Amino acid sequence: MSKRNFFYNKNFYILLLIFFGSFLILRNFNNGFWSDEWSTIYFSNPSKFNLILTGDFDDGSSKYFYIILIWWNKLFGYYSESIRLFSNFFGICSILIFLRLSREFKLNNEHIILSLSLFVTNFFLIHYSEEARWYSFSLFLSLLSIYGYIKSLKKDKYLIFFILASAISSLINIFSSIILLSAFVHALIYRNKKLLICSLISLLLILLLKLDYILLRLFDERQLGAFTIGSPFTKSFFIGYYFNNYFGNIFFGGLALSFVLFIVIYFRSTIFNNHKINFIILIIFLSYLLPLIYSYLFKPILRDRYILFVVPLIILFLSYFITNFPNTFYRKIVIYFFIICSFININFHKIYFSKPSINDALTIVLNSNSKNIFLKDTKTQPLFSNYIFFSKFAKKNNIKFHKDSKKLDELWTICLNSPRFATSLQIDNKECFKNEFINTHSLENIIQIPDLVLRNYKKIK
């Protein structure tokens, strides 16, 4: 009876963690949109499919991602909020596939609870599951690919999942092809001919389909200039290896990195005996090594979010070996300590720049005498104008958008208050405080909120 009760309790804790992780992803659903998210919204317009036929984009997204997102928008409506829901959905799906992946390494209850707790409370994973970008979709496909490969070690029927997930994942995020390369190397080491052939064919297919992307991104100077990345060869990188970003701050990141180093030393004689563990170690190792080699020889290409998939693998690595500590007393102390720290860490993570809250600006317009917003010519700020125009909040509250100010007796404009918008510098954009329609309208009111300046005009009679 006690075992049965524990089984139900364990499932209850797992279900609770899944719901909690979903809540953490969804809680900032209306927390503004960042400039690269505007790009996602702009290029995923179902009525402008021709926009994505020209190739890949300066925002780092793939045309294959936009093709998939266009179909999502056709099903759920072309709104800013629908696109964010896409990321939220696959962020939550990533929790579920991670749970299945975690079970493949160890069915021990301590391991599952620890690994899932670290995953659902991980700030880095939460943050990129909240953005209307390709990150959470790429993470889900990467985890599905890894899961498919591990299952294929014993059952060939999972090969199709591995091949499809790996191929789509690599088309969405070229860095995910490192997983395929790791599978190829792993299959070569352990002489698994089926997995070796499947991995090789998939790699060649990705190389063919992404050849235009690779040539443009890696060798075209104009593209490199528009897609600048800071060099990873810094003192802070080689001290922390992005762990401070992955785990929210320098303290928890330092703790995780310290335990990784301790595990490598303590379990050095047995660490390479498990084929599954070998595979995730190989992915983590190559995910750092290959981009660093290229960055050294050519141009910097490594960013923490591009290899987002290593975060769950680091969590699996930690959880697997922490729950392998032979001393029961110390093992339980470390497990509870990590779980408690992970939950506390939710409120003490590294804070990124806050996003401009357009809904706050639209609420000001909504509560005024006029619901008219003048949008500038789309040639000057197409991404921002498109983002506001296709806001579900605006449509729901019947806010009107116009391109001709002369016909309006009263109107609003919304100005991006850069450079504060783009950086941490607290400098106002002087252009945001000038009268744009000095000959036709009087400037009645200026309202300043973070990153945005609203101007209210009335027609001169």
pLDDT (average), residues 2-16: 68
- Note the pLDDT of residue 1: 42
| Amino acid sitting at position 37 | E
Between CA 129 and CA 85 the distance in angstroms is: 9
Structure tokens at 285: 């190792």
Predicted confidence at residue 270, as pLDDT, reads 82
CB within 8 A of 286, min separation 6: which ones? 178, 181, 182, 185
Q: Find where tokens 């749970």 sit.
A: 99
- What six digits make up the tokens of 257? 């990195």
Tell me which DSSP letter residue 54 carries: T
Residue 225 pLDDT class (50, 70, 90 cuts): very low
pLDDT band, residue 209 (cuts 50/70/90): confident
Mean pLDDT of 422-437: 77
Q: Give dist(CA 79, CA 388) in Å, integer.
A: 10
Q: Is the peptide bond before 450 cis (omega within 30 degrees of 0)?
A: no
**What per-residue confidence (pLDDT) applies to 405?**
81
What is the C-alpha to C-alpha distance for residues 346 and 118, in angstroms, rounded to an integer?
Answer: 11
| 43 SS3 class | helix
How far apart CA 348 and CA 326 sit, in angstroms, is 32
pLDDT at 243 (0 to 100): 93
Number of C-alpha atoms within 13 angstroms, CB side, residue 435?
A: 13
Beta bridge partners of 442: 458
- Distance of alpha carbon 231 from its chain centroid, rounded? 21
pLDDT tens figures, 307-360: 999 999 999 999 999 999 988 898 999 999 999 989 988 876 655 567 777 888
The string of pLDDT tens digits covering residues 310-323 is 999 999 999 999 99
Q: For 273-302, what is each residue's pLDDT tens digit? A: 888 999 999 999 999 999 999 888 878 888
- State residue 88's pLDDT score: 95
What is the Cα–Cα distance from 271 to 278, expressed in whole angstroms? Answer: 8
Domain borders along the chain are 2-347, 358-459
Mean pLDDT of 34-56: 78
Q: Which residue, among 231, 74, 67, 191, has the nearest Cα to 137 in the 3D structure?
A: 67
Phi, psi of 242 (to 5 degrees): 70, 5
Per-residue tokens: 110? 């301590």
Helix (H) or strand (E) holding 443: strand 441-449
Please name the residues in contact with 335: beta carbons below 8 A apart, sequence gap of 6 or more.
110, 114, 322, 323
For the beta carbon of residue 64, count every other beta carbon within 10 angstroms: 20
- The pLDDT score that the predictor gives to residue 53 is 65
For the stretch 77-110, pLDDT in tens is: 898 889 999 999 999 999 999 999 999 998 888 8
Could you please report the per-residue DSSP string of 175-201?
GGHHHHHHHHHHHHHTT-HHHHHHHHH
- The pLDDT mean for the chain works out to 85
Nearest to 62 by CA among 182, 204, 195, 209: 209
Q: Side chain identity at 123, as an amino acid letter?
A: F
| pLDDT at residue 226, rounded to an integer | 47
**Amino acid of residue 25:** I
